[in-house]
Every structure is written in C-alpha cells, then in structure tokens.
Amino acid sequence: METHISCLFPEILAMIFSYLEVRDKGRVAQVCTAWRDASYHKSVWRGVEAKLHLRRANPSLFPSLQARGIRRVQILSLRRSLSYVIQGMPNIESLNLSGCYNLTDNGLGHAFVQEIPSLRVLNLSLCKQITDSSLGRIAQYLKNLEVLELGGCSNITNTGLLLIAWGLHRLKSLNLRSCRHVSDVGIGHLAGMTRSAAEGCLSLEYLTLQDCQKLTDLSLKHISKGLTRLKVLNLSFCGGISDAGMIHLSHMTSLWTLNLRSCDNISDTGIMHLAMGTLRLSGLDVSFCDKIGDQSLAYIAQGLYQLKSLSLCSCHISDDGINRMVRQMHELRTLNIGQCVRITDKGLELIADHLTQLTGIDLYGCTKITKRGLERITQLPCLKVLNLGLWQMTESEKVR
C-alpha cells in the first residue's frame, strides 16, 4: 500500500517544513489548503527573522507574522513610520534596523512611547542620525533589552552612555564601534563608577569598543573594576590604550576573548602583563601590533598556554618565537600568522610537530615558506582550514 504525501498528518508536514529555507516555507503555503495550514504552525517558523521592506501599507502583513509566531524582524528599508512595526508586533523580541540611514530621533521617539517588555535585541548599527535623545527613549521604555548594537552611530556621546547605564541594567551585549565621541567618562558610566547618577550595566558580557579613539588606559581600569562579568572585549584600533592598561585587564578571570588588533601602543611588555595575571583567555588577537615580537610568544607560552585561538598577523615574529611557544600550547586550535614574513619552513615544521590539535592556520603573505613546509602543515591530523593567499610556489616546487 502506497502512502501519498497528502495523507501525512499536519504535525508531520510541519516537522518537514521546519527544515526548509525561509523562502521555501512561504512557497509550500501556496500549494494547497492543507499545506498552508501546516506551514502556519509556529514550530515551522521558530527562530526565523522576517526581512521586510516597509514601503506601503499592508494590513495583512503583521497578523500573518504573528500567526506564524515570528517575533524577530529586520527592516531592510524604512519608508513608513517605525511605529507601524511596533504597533503591529506588540510582542516583538528582536528588531534589526541596521543601515536604515533615514531613521531619526523623531521617528524612533514616535515608535517608543510605552514600555515594550518583550524586546530583547535592538540593532541600530549605521543609523547615523541617531543621537543621545534616542538612547534616552530606549533606556526609558526598553528595560528588558539584552543586546544593543550602536556600531557606527557617530553622534552618540558620553551622555548617551549615562542614559544606558541608568536604564538598561539587564544589558549583556553592547557594540559601540566607531562611536568617536565616547571617552573614559562614558565607559565609567557603564562600569558603575558614577553610582549617584546611574547604577551601570554591570551584567555586560560582550563589549565592543573598536575604533573608539578617545579611550585610554583609564577606561580599562573602569572595566576591570565594574564589569567583572565581561567575557568578550574588543579594543581593536583603540590607539590610546597602552601596555600599562593590560595590568588592569590581567585579573579579569571571566574574560574569554580579548581583541587588541591594531592597538599600536601594545608591545611585548603588555603581553607580559597579561601573562603574569590570572586570565583564562581562550582567544587573543594582537594582529598588526607592530611592537609584538618573539618575546611575546615566550610570555604566552608561560602564562596564556590555555589559548585555543591566537592571531599574530603582521607581527614581528620569527621561527625562534614559534620555537619558544609551541611546546606549551596544547589547546591551540586556530593560529593566524599571515603576513609574518620572517616565518620559514622551520617554523612550519615546529608547528606541525607540536600543535597537533590545530584545525585552522592562516599563512597569507608568508613569503618565505615553500612546498616543503606546506607539506608538513597539511599532514596535521585535525586541519580543516588552510589560508595561503599570496603564497606562491616556484616552478621547481610545483607538483607535477
């Protein structure tokens, strides 16, 4: 006896449809009434983010999304009032407005006029007209917010961070990339250093301060004192921090990942401070820190040997540094040494002999390596990713 797909119970159809891509989920709803009913089951759409162009009125849009149980929305273009979205989805959990350049404080103010307890994630990246005024609204009405993305919102100042520190006590992730007006004062607000005005965001676990050029080591002091739950800290391109600031970070035992990429004033001394502390880092990025050399690798082997990911692209390291590091780094899974032009086949042989758990290595622009060294690397038993980029074999080295 043959069983046709039309005989399947709606619950079984819904289970099958849940594995489809979003576009295909919509297409199966157009096949027949039975499939449409099955495709509207909330389990089919669990975790899906609706991507919308808000151009003209569509009365059926939000009822349809709510019927599917969709609570995550990304606005690709905004030609209608944002309040149209908020009113249409009162139980919204995630709102992504990244790149909506025409969003203003006025538009956001008209949308956030009462508490929205369900909203946990708000992305305002590259909404360049947003200012501290909007952060006041957010702090007042989005008390349960856990993730706030403000990357590229270049009009945000320390006053805005004070408002965040006053109202968003449940915040776990904050991105302030390229917020050029933010200084040590603002980081002090977040870290609860001004308790008389704001309690602070003391539950923060993920903090991105990339390219915040006004920050100094004082910010790191504030972070180490107040943001003790921090797991991931991105300080890349922060030219104002120095080796001395690493002393403050060296005892943040909750910190997992530290990004110091292109921090020009970080040298071997800074790595020494980190290694001498009580850190349990699993990821460290010091790529393009041109004062980092072989001595840093010795410090890493002594005090940061539990690292699983290490990025040293364009640092002044050599085979000697690799030799001083590899025997202690048994946990290392990812090693990025692209554009380290002093590394030769000898260094690759040391890596192949000792870093046997390596799953990924970046050798982009390592111009002194040859086929011999690469053959050793490719024999690593767990290797899945090998980036060579600019490396080229000579005619005599090519496999024939």
For residue 282, the domain's CATH number is: 3.80.10.10
pTM (whole model) above 0.85: yes
Question: What is the pLDDT at residue 252?
Answer: 97
Residues 186 and 75 in one domain: yes
Total count of domains within the chain: 3
**Residue 394's pLDDT band (boundaries 50, 70, 90)?**
very low
Question: What is the pLDDT at residue 289?
Answer: 97
pLDDT in tens, 101-146: 999 999 999 999 999 999 999 999 999 999 999 999 999 999 999 9
Cross-strand pairs, 361:
335, 386
Residues 95 and 173 in one domain: yes
Question: What is the pLDDT at residue 390?
Answer: 56
Place of tokens 């870093």: 355
Residues 297 and 263 in one domain: yes
Q: What angle do CA 332, 336, 338 make, to 5 degrees?
A: 155
The CATH number given to whatever domain includes residue 16 is: 1.20.1280
Residues 224 and 350 in one domain: no
Residues 218 and 287 in one domain: no
Residues 166 and 249 in one domain: no
Q: Please determine, for residue 399, whether its predicted confidence score (pLDDT) is greater than 60.
A: no
Distance between CA 105 and CA 367 in Å, rounded? 51
Which helix H or strand E contains 281, and what residues bound it?
A: none
Q: Which domain holds residue 39?
A: 1-46
Question: What is the pLDDT at residue 61?
Answer: 76
Helix, strand, coil percentages (3-state) for the chain, rounded to 5, are: 35, 15, 50
Distance between CA 45 and CA 68 in Å, rounded? 6
